[in-house]
Amino acid sequence: MDPIRILIADDDAGMRLVMKKLAEKAEGYELVGEAGDGEQLIELYDALKPEVVLMDVEMPGMTGIDCARAIQDRDPRTVIVFATAHEEYMASAFEVYAFDYLVKPFKVERAMQTLERIRDRLRGGASEPVEVPVAERKGAPEMVSDRMMLKHRDGISFIDIPQIAMVMRENRATILLMQDGARYVVGDGMAELDERLPDEIFFRTHKSYIVNLNLIDSIAPYGRWTYVVKLKGLKEDALITHERFEELQKRFM
C-alpha cells in the first residue's frame, strides 16, 4: 500500500522540525515537502499533490485559513490539520472543515493519534457507518424524468437529471458526475447548480459537494467536523458537514 503523502508548513523552523519528526515517526506516511509561508505551501501543494497538509494558522502572506480555502477549491478531499498556539482560530478551522486542530505546545502522543486516525480513514476505512434510515424515509420521491441542458467545456449536452450522481469542486472547477461514469466540467458554479437541481432528489452536503439522495449508501465519521458519504456505483466519495448531516437525518425521518 502506498504511503500517505504529507506536506508540512510553518514559518518557524523549529516547529517545522517537530512536524517533520512527527511525519517521519508516523507509520505509513511519506513527507513530500515543507514550506515556510503560505505562498510556498500552495506552490508545493500544486506540484506535489499531497493527501494531508499539516500547517500553522499564522504565517506571513497567506494565513493557514487562506491556504485551506485555496486547497479545498483544488481538492476538498485533502486532509487538513492545523497546529497553532492560538485557540481563537478554531472557529475559522471549523469553517474550512479541518480534520483536527492541535494547540501548541501539543503532546506528541496527541498528534500521533491524529495521524493514526487519518491513516485509518484514508487507508483502512475502519470507522463504523453512521445510521441514516435511508430506506425508511417518508415520502421518497419518484425518479423524475426532467432533463437539463448542460453547458460544459466540450459543448452542450442534454442529460437526465436523475442520472446525475454528484456535483463536486475539483481543481478549481465544478465537476458533474453521472451514474454511468461520465464526467462534465461545467461552467455553472456550485450555488447555481444547487438552485437548478430539484431539492427532493439532490442535497448540498458541503460547500464542495451536492449528492443524489437516492444513491447514498453509507456515511462514516471523517475528522472532527465532517463525515464521508459513499454513493452506490460511484468510486468518488463526498463529504458532509456535521450541520448538514443533522439536516439530512431530518430529511430521512
Q: Which residue has the higher pLDDT, 195 or 140?
A: 195
Q: Is 130 helix (H, G, I), strand (E, B) or coil?
A: strand
Residue 121 has pLDDT above 90, yes or no: no
Cα separation, 99 vs 44, in Å, equals: 20
Question: Considering only 12-26, 86-100, 172-186, which range has the smallest mean pLDDT?
Answer: 86-100
Q: How many CA atoms does the CB half-sphere of 221 hold within 13 Å?
A: 11
Query: Can 4-124 and 134-251 be said to share one CATH topology?
Result: no
Given the DSSP bridges, would you call strands 4-9 and 52-55 parallel, antiparallel or unpaired?
parallel
Per the CB < 8 A criterion, the answer to whether 156 and 63 are in contact is no
Helices 108-119, 13-25: crossing angle, 10 deg rounding? 50
CATH 3.20.20.70 fits 4-124, yes or no: no
Residue 248: partners with Cβ closer than 8 Å, 6 or more residues away? 132, 203, 205, 240
Residue 25 has pLDDT above 90, yes or no: yes
**CA separation, residue 118 to residues 147, 166, 223 (Å):** 40, 24, 8
Cα separation, 97 vs 247, in Å, equals: 17
Instruction: Give mean pLDDT, residues 113-126.
Output: 83
The residue ranges of every structural domain in the chain are 4-124, 134-251
Residue 134 — very low, low, confident or very high, per pLDDT cuts 50/70/90? very low
Beta bridge partners of residue 155, listed in sequence order: 152
Beta bridge partners of residue 170, listed in sequence order: 173
pLDDT at 127: 52
**CA separation, residue 199 to residues 5, 140, 164 (Å):** 37, 12, 13
Residue 200 has pLDDT above 60, yes or no: yes
Residue 1 — very low, low, confident or very high, per pLDDT cuts 50/70/90? confident
pLDDT at 144: 43
State the CATH architecture for 134-251.
Beta Barrel (2.40)
